[in-house]
Amino acid sequence: MGKLSGKVALVTGGASGIGRAIVGALAAEGADIGIVDRNAADARTAAEETARLGVRALAAPADVGDEVEMAGAFGAVTAALGDVDILCNNAGIDTISFLDDMPIALWDEMMRVNLRSVFLGTRLVLPAMRRKKWGRIINTASQLGHKGAPQMVHYCAAKAGVIGFTRALAYEVARDGITVNAICPGPIDTPLAQAIPQAWRDAKRAELAIGRFGNVEEVAPTVVLLASDAGSYYVGATLNMNGGDYMI
């Protein structure tokens, strides 16, 4: 019996990087897993690998910023696995541009994928969590939502939005047995971070107290804590695994 046996987790962006590690860590504790990701092939591979851990796992491809696709994916996960007990709003994108050069479309896409998606996913899971008087919502924000960074006003604004969303909703649902928290990773070596230009990565590495990027295995255990009964007194918290980039 794992800490999360009998629970169903839905992880967005679970096909890659931090989300993939969250999927593995939750499954290792016995949770059944729905993987919602726009990369259908990688989501299916992740689901197959996860099922080998002895839990039920389903890939439900969708664009997390699209209301209809998200509702469809949520329906597929609940039909196959049951009510969602743990929601990890993790899918996200990262682009860079100075404000002066930023196309409106780049701003809008950032808000759609990194912030609107959190609203959409959360609305879908709350009714069952309220009914069951138990739920865990864990949002992947970023330390940059606290700290800011040049060329990333859109990303930082979206992640600050996720933090604000987390705190506001935590007030609304805590007495229903539902906790809402955020993780705020620093730079973690994933395909997302690897796509950022090398000069930006080198400058970031130089700033870090620990002198290196983190890895996904240094993020996922915190999500397991927040998802489990041991995490029941974290309410509206932001947990910062960031190599000392921003100490709060």
Ligand X SMILES: NC(=O)c1ccc[n+]([C@@H]2O[C@H](COP(=O)([O-])OP(=O)(O)OC[C@H]3O[C@@H](n4cnc5c(N)ncnc54)[C@H](O)[C@@H]3O)[C@@H](O)[C@H]2O)c1
Give me 197's structure tokens.
């230009």
**Cβ-based nearer residue to ligand X, 126 or 220:** 220
Closest contact distance (angstroms) between CB of 93 and ligand X is 5
**Cβ-based nearer residue to ligand X, 35 or 169:** 35
Catalytic annotation present for 155: yes
Q: CA dihedral defined by 121, 123, 128, 130, rounded to 10 degrees?
A: 130
**CB neighbours (10 Å) of residue 203?**
12
Does residue number 106 form part of the binding site for ligand X (CB under 6 A)? no
Give CA–CA dist 20/17, Å, rounded: 5
**Cβ-based nearer residue to ligand X, 15 or 86:** 15
Region 179-238 residues binding ligand X, contact defined as CB under 6 A? 185, 187-188, 190-193
Among 3, 28, 30, 39, binds ligand X (CB under 6 A): 39
Region 49-68 residues binding ligand X, contact defined as CB under 6 A? 63-65
Closest contact distance (angstroms) between CB of 47 and ligand X is 13
DSSP structure class, residue 15: T
Q: Do 169 and 180 meet the contact criterion of CB atoms below 8 Å apart?
A: yes
Q: Residue length, the chain?
A: 248
Does residue number 38 form part of the binding site for ligand X (CB under 6 A)? yes
**Of 195, 246, 239, which is closest to residue 218 (Cα–Cα)?**
239
**Of 143, 170, 156, 189, which is closest to residue 236 (Cα–Cα)?**
170
Does residue number 139 form part of the binding site for ligand X (CB under 6 A)? no
Number of residues that bind ligand X (CB under 6 A): 27
Does residue number 94 form part of the binding site for ligand X (CB under 6 A)? yes
Closest contact distance (angstroms) between CB of 168 and ligand X is 19
Q: Do 29 and 5 meet the contact criterion of CB atoms below 8 Å apart?
A: yes
Does residue number 140 form part of the binding site for ligand X (CB under 6 A)? yes
Give CA–CA dist 247/78, Å, rounded: 39
Residues near ligand X, by CB under 6 A: 13, 15-19, 37-39, 63-65, 90-94, 113, 140, 142, 185, 187-188, 190-193
Active site residues: 155
